Structure 1
Amino acid sequence: MPRFTRLILGVLLLIASAQPCLAGSKPVVFFGINLRYSPRTMYARYQPLMDYLTENTPYRFELLISRDYRQALNDLKDGRVLISSLGDGAFVEAMLLYGAVPIVKPLNHDGKPFYRAAIVVPRDSHAQRITDLKNKRFAFGSHHSITGNLLPRYMLERGGVSVSGLEYRASLKNHDAVTKAILKGQYDAGSVKEVFAGRYWQYGLRVLAFSDPIPSVPLVVRPDIPPPVRDAVVAALLKLDRRNPAHREIMSRWDDEFQHGFAPASATDYREQIWMFQSIPFGCGSGCHR
């Protein structure tokens, strides 16, 4: 490897250290997230949150975008980031395998810290209930997604459609991929987070069924995060009030999931999700998340 290339790689590795490091007048804290949209869209949706945290804490927050959920987990495990926004299954894995700690959870448009899975179909689909999906093509999300995979399996079974009774099924990489595949006519139905169902309604998606509400996906931190960093993030996010017009204006520039404020989160909030991950036959009863 050329000397110059080794030097650049060394500098990048030094920058990627998750422990707060000095940059200008503020220590830098790296905030991890997996690639969910194009890099440009990721920056547009999440950089304003970094800017807010930088302005309202003693730290400067930098995004570290990973190519997929597995790399995002490794970034947290290996200390390249102190805080992460993980997918709605990856956060459970981070808790079970690496001791990640939930600190805050986003509120929905009703001001409640819950969200739902949505089974969606094209707007002109003849399906009116879950039983109409027998022998249809179904797009699940990632195997490790609660709303993209685990909850919809329960919903289908409860609605009288066994997963084996689908004509064809596949697990796509994320919610965005599921919605686009349905709109392209590649699948008859699929499962996504409620926020994605709302986002793509205008393009021709219709919700066939919602799951029961479950606690929303939290921001998680490493178990050894310096308490002042953790406390500063929690304080900055919990002080936002969705009823305050100035606060609503700040959050309007953030990803849809974070536009309504936050509530405190703890590990006990997610006992049901952990049970789903470890249960048979819908989760990972073999113990891969223990």
Structure 2
Amino acid sequence: MEKSINKRSSQGKKNNPTGGRWRLLLPLLCLWFIFYPQTQATGAAAGHLTLWVHPYLPATELVNRFTPLAEYLAAGLDRPVEIRVPQNYQTHVEVVGRNQADLAFMGPAGYVAMRRQYGEKPLLAVLEEKGSILFHGVIIVRQDSLLHELGQVKGQSFAFGDPHSTMSYLVPRAMLARAGVELADLARYDFLNSHHDVALGVLGGYFAAGGVKDEVFDYYQPRGLRALAVSPPIPDHLFATRSNLDTGTVERLRELLLAVNEHPDRQLILGSIKDGLTGLRPVTAEDYDELAALTEEFDDD
């Protein structure tokens, strides 16, 4: 009886091909489980595009504003477009600079800062407002102010807008620097919430001068403002893409953005982003060279 049991046991080991197969397949299965999720994640990431918008408004509002555009692009590309809003401006510059954004909406100053730090990215389109892609920064004073040239701002109070704003901080700061006026030369300066707050602060006599965009100056000029100095023309906000996106997708994105001007839902798509938008137009990196040169006039500490 004992011999019979031993014999069956020996034969079982010899004639069980399944056990041998499992010993061969087990390492392969382990590798499959390790790498398959990563492959799936990569495939999912490749299936959609991300649209990163710089955080000039609360994230929920920006998502609402850019959803019609994202849906329009998704339909034209036949792939989803996800809107993402970083927590701050610096993160936005880093995400775009490191080629982590398939599509990015940037302010002029943010683009110039990104370009200076990371190099060129393909540009797709620039905003057109009321028929123009250009706007100006204006340093404003009251009509009755004794200031008549930029150098006289030295020793006076000055109102800036948001510290990340092109036209209410970076451009007026650079204009002052060109006139030999540094921040330390001002009696005081403050950052206010908006261009309108700057205009009202100067009108109310709380500041001797301030920096706003031309649209805001035009609105408040009849109420008693005067332009002390006007910046060179600066191109508006723009759309850019990552430098390692395939050429076909880059061209298709550019084509779709420029074609929005003729789309039946043009007013919904553009008006949702900003009131007064009249189209999207071609843009080149050279269009921002003047701004780049202007903002190199000072070291922003």
Relative to the length of structure 1, the TM-score reads: 0.69
Alignment of 1:61 onto 2:81 = yes
Distance of 1:269 and 1:20 partners within structure 2: 36
Amino acid at match of 1:251: L
Which residue of 2 is the match for residue 10 of structure 1? none
Partner of 2:271: 252
Aligned to 1:6: none
SS in 2 for 1:105: strand
Give 1 or 2 for the bigger CA radius of gyration.
2
**TM-fit CA distance, 1:117:** 1.3
Q: Which moved more, 1:186-195 or 1:60-69?
A: 186-195
Letter of the 1:272 partner, please give it: E
Aligned length: 254
Q: Secondary structure at the match of 1:241?
A: helix
- Partner residue, 1:229: 249
Paired amino acid for 1:21: A
| Cα distance, 1:224 vs structure 2 | 0.7
Q: 1:265 is matched with which residue? A: 283
8 Å CA contact retained: 1:139, 1:178: no
1:283 corresponding residue in structure 2? 298
> Does the aligned pair in 1 maintain the 2:107–2:238 contact within 8 Å?
no
**Any idea what the Cα deviations from partners look like across 1:63-93, whole Å, max 9, x if unmatched?**
1101211011122234442221123211012
CA deviation digits over 1:104-134, x for unaligned, max 9?
Answer: 111231x23212113356xx87448654856
| Cα shift at 1:43 | 2.7
Counterparts of 1:83-232 in structure 2, within 5 Å, are 83-99=103-119, 100-109=121-130, 111-120=131-140, 126-127=144-145, 131=149, 135-141=155-161, 145-156=165-176, 165-170=185-190, 172=191, 176-177=193-194, 179-180=196-197, 183=200, 187=207, 189-194=209-214, 197=216, 208=227, 210-232=230-252
Long gaps (5+) in structure 1: 1-13
The answer to whether the 8 A contact 1:141-1:191 is kept is yes
Identity %, equivalent residues: 22
Q: Given the alignment of the two structures, is residue 21 of structure 1 paired with residue 45 of structure 2, yes or no?
A: yes
Tell me by how many angstroms 1:219 deviates: 1.5
**Aligned with residue 97 of structure 2, among 56, 66, 77:** 77
Which amino acid is the alignment partner of residue 88 of structure 2?
Answer: D
Q: Which amino acid aligns with 1:217?
A: H
1:145-177 Cα distance to aligned partner (Å, 9 max, x none): 54233431454467897755532124x4xx854
Runs of at least 5 residues in structure 2 that lack an aligned partner in the other structure: 1-37
Cα 1:70–1:227 change in 2 (3 A) is same
- Report the structure, 1 or 2, having the larger helix content: 2
- Matching residue of 1:8: none
Per the TM alignment, residue 276 of structure 1 is displaced from its structure 2 partner at its CA by: 2.5
Q: Counterpart of 2:259?
A: 239
Q: TM-score, normalised by structure 2?
A: 0.66
Distance in 1 between residues matched to 2:185 and 2:282, nearest whole Å:
41
Alpha carbons of 1:271 and 1:248: their partners in 2 closer, same or farther (altered >3 Å)?
A: same
Give the CA RMSD over aligned residues.
3.9
Structure 2 counterpart of 1:268, one-letter code: E
**2:60 paired residue number:** 40
